[in-house]
Amino acid sequence: MRTTDNSPSLPPPGSKGPIEGQLTSSISDAGKAGDAPDASPEFRSEFAALLAYYAARIAAARRGLPASEVFAVVQAIVNEQTVALRALAERQAAAQKQQAERPTGNVQRKDENPKPS
């Protein structure tokens, strides 16, 4: 944004630019995955920890870097966050699949209750 005297200006407080809007929506969409009813407490905990970790990194980048570098750094952090959340989701899916394939406690083994000869 530029004012009439051609100097840069900040957007009004509380307004979000297009990139911040995209980041906020992608983070809120990611948060919905942590609310899945079949998600284990461990998954939810790790998911929340990842979101908090990357939110802190983004906040630190915005505070500590020049404005000209913030976009690229935040975009790289968001890309890294996406990979980490995807890996977590894949681990969760694999664990659920393995648990579904595991036999229940009612299955009788061959060795149990041998028939007398």
- Inside any domain, residue 64: yes
pLDDT at 56 > cutoff 50: yes
* Tens-digit pLDDT profile for residues 2-49: 455 554 455 555 555 555 555 555 555 555 555 566 778 999 999 999
First to last CA, the chain: 91
Domain count, the chain: 1
Q: Write the CA distances from 76 to 2, 24, 68, integer angstroms.
A: 27, 15, 14
Given pLDDT bands bounded at 50, 70 and 90, which one contains residue 100? Answer: confident
Residue 40's pLDDT is 85
Q: What is the pLDDT of residue 80?
A: 98
pTM: 0.58
Tokens encoding 19: 């990139």
In a domain, 8, yes or no: no
The answer to whether residue 74 is domain-embedded is: yes
- Asked, for residue 67, whether it belongs to a domain, the answer is yes
- Tell me, yes or no, whether 92 lies in a domain: yes
Residues written for the chain:
117
Residue 57 lies inside a defined structural domain of this protein? yes
What residues make up the domain containing 92? 41-97
In a domain, 114, yes or no: no
